[in-house]
């Protein structure tokens, strides 16, 4: 049996669960390696994958030790109705699926973020995949610098980044690429459109890709032409907040303390201009545990993989964000992002 499954069964035992149903696709993949649709039932004796005709062969190829049921040929109540206490993923299940399960399982017990917390501590193999995904991003960044010039649209820059990452080993994008020029950058999640890059503007580039199921995430902000003194002050403030946050990170540090430190540095010069969390965990999902938010007071652990991405957003003027992806490793961090962070004036 795989280590993850062993750990999950230990949790089940501690919580008097004779079974557990997994519905979140990434949690299914994490526990079984199965990447198709359906659900998984774990019990102390046997484990089951319930899927449909499209994925039965795939499930058999991808997994080991699971009994595979084709949903159209299965009476779920006959198969699973004997379990007495079944854990379920209350944080992500749809209401209709929950309603259907109430007709199958005797008693459904919410397990909260149990699986998400397991996933937040990465194994070496997972970190290796994230490292490769992030290195594809680094290469895409140096590639795109030649394309960023006045008159080119945000959409064309985004497309070139995406094509480059796919060409260089990415399975897919980990989220919609952000390319935001000038005042558009004041929206943290701006969608690239037909607006053209102009001289004297910042361009925010936030992108990532997936390698072996694992995501990467990075942001750089470059200036087209010369930056004004005010633009330099904005950029330097974000960079100071980012470097100072990286310095604080290690096992045992409290995420909200790191967030609040970055917030204070930015608020001193640009009060209210930084309004999102400092960072988030990255893994099978692009946003996962742990978050570096002002609300998270749970100490970081070795093996956590998090982004560090302060920003300053000034409506009608500009946005600047700098984001690295790092692994918490004892008293240190390993920074997986290698692209330059000093202000690049193209
Ligand atoms: Mn991010």
Q: For the domain that residue 60 is a member of, what is the CATH number?
A: 3.40.350.10
Decide if 340 is inside a domain. Answer: no
Q: Are 312 and 274 in contact (CB under 8 A)?
A: yes
Handedness of CA 167, 168, 171, 174 (dihedral sign): negative
Beta bridge partners of 318: 314
Among 68, 97, 119, residue at a domain's last position: 119
Domain that holds residue 181: 121-335
For residues 199 and 331, membership in a common domain is answered with yes
The list of the chain residues with pLDDT below 70 reads: 1
Decide if 101 is inside a domain. Answer: yes
Tokens of 246: 């990286």
3-state secondary structure of 70: strand
For residues 268 and 184, membership in a common domain is answered with yes
The DSSP 8-state label assigned to residue 185 in this structure reads G
For residues 48 and 64, membership in a common domain is answered with yes
Check residue 209 and give its pLDDT.
98
For residues 115 and 153, membership in a common domain is answered with no
Determine the distance separating the centroid of ligand 1 and the alpha carbon of 129, expressed in angstroms: 17
Decide if 342 is inside a domain. Answer: no
Half-sphere exposure of 72 (CA within 13 A, CB side): 5
Half-sphere exposure of 343 (CA within 13 A, CB side): 21
Decide if 306 is inside a domain. Answer: yes
For residues 134 and 275, membership in a common domain is answered with yes
For residues 23 and 132, membership in a common domain is answered with no
Determine the distance separating the centroid of ligand 1 and the alpha carbon of 309, expressed in angstroms: 7
3-state secondary structure of 230: helix
- Taking ligand 1, which is a single-atom ion, which protein residues have CB atoms under 5 Å away? 217, 307
Decide if 344 is inside a domain. Answer: no
Check residue 143 and give its pLDDT.
98
For residues 173 and 312, membership in a common domain is answered with yes
For residues 289 and 187, membership in a common domain is answered with yes
For residues 253 and 183, membership in a common domain is answered with yes
- Cis? peptide before 290, omega within 30° of 0: yes
Determine the distance separating the centroid of ligand 1 and the alpha carbon of 197, expressed in angstroms: 23
Decide if 343 is inside a domain. Answer: no
Check residue 301 and give its pLDDT.
98
Beta bridge partners of 108: 86
Determine the distance separating the centroid of ligand 1 and the alpha carbon of 324, expressed in angstroms: 8
Determine the distance separating the centroid of ligand 1 and the alpha carbon of 217, expressed in angstroms: 5
Among 97, 119, 141, residue at a domain's last position: 119
Determine the distance separating the centroid of ligand 1 and the alpha carbon of 328, expressed in angstroms: 16
For residues 324 and 205, membership in a common domain is answered with yes
For residues 291 and 207, membership in a common domain is answered with yes
Tokens of 277: 């969390």
Question: Rounded to the nearest 10 degrees, what angle do helices 3-14 and 25-32 cross at?
Answer: 110
Decide if 21 is inside a domain. Answer: yes
Decide if 41 is inside a domain. Answer: yes
3-state secondary structure of 325: strand
Tokens of 258: 């790191």
How many domains is the chain built from? 2
Determine the distance separating the centroid of ligand 1 and the alpha carbon of 214, expressed in angstroms: 14
For residues 16 and 148, membership in a common domain is answered with no
Check residue 2 and give its pLDDT.
87
Check residue 92 and give its pLDDT.
96
Indicate which CATH number applies to the domain containing 194.
3.90.230.10
Half-sphere exposure of 158 (CA within 13 A, CB side): 21
Check residue 1 and give its pLDDT.
63
Among 83, 99, 119, residue at a domain's last position: 119
Determine the distance separating the centroid of ligand 1 and the alpha carbon of 167, expressed in angstroms: 22
Q: Are 336 and 220 in contact (CB under 8 A)?
A: no
């Amino acid at each position: 049996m795989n280590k993850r499954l062993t750990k999950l069964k230990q949790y089940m035992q501690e919580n008097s669960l004779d079974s557990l149903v997994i519905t979140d696709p990434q949690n299914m993949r994490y526990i079984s390696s199965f990447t198709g649709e359906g659900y998984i039932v774990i019990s102390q004796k046997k484990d089951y994958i319930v899927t449909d005709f499209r994925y039965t062969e795939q499930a058999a190829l991808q997994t080991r030790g699971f009994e595979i049921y084709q949903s159209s040929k299965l009476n779920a109540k006959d198969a699973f109705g004997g379990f007495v206490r079944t854990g379920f993923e209350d944080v992500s299940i749809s209401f209709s699926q929950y309603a259907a399960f109430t007709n199958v399982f005797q008693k459904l017990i919410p397990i909260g973020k149990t699986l998400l917390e397991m996933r937040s501590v990465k194994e070496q193999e997972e970190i290796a995949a994230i490292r490769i995904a992030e290195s594809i991003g680094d290469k895409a960044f140096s590639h795109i610098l030649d394309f960023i010039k006045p008159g080119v649209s945000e959409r064309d820059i985004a497309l070139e980044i995406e094509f480059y990452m796919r060409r260089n080993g990415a399975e897919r994008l980990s989220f919609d690429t952000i390319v935001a020029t000038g005042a558009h950058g004041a929206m943290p999640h701006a969608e690239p459109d037909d607006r053209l890059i102009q001289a004297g503007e910042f361009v925010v580039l936030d992108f990532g890709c997936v390698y072996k199921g694992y995501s990467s995430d990075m942001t750089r902000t470059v200036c087209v032409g010369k930056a004004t003194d005010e633009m330099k002050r904005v950029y330097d403030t974000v960079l100071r907040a980012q470097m100072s946050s990286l310095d604080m990170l290690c096992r045992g540090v409290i995420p909200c303390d790191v967030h609040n430190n970055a917030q204070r540095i930015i608020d001193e010069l640009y009060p209210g201009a930084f309004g999102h969390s400092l960072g988030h965990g990255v893994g099978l999902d692009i946003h996962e545990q742990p978050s570096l938010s002002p609300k998270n007071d749970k100490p970081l652990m070795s093996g956590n993989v998090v982004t560090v991405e302060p920003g300053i957003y000034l409506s009608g003027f500009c946005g600047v964000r700098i984001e690295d992806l790092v692994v918490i490793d004892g008293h240190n961090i390993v920074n997986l992002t290698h692209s330059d962070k000093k202000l690049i004036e193209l």
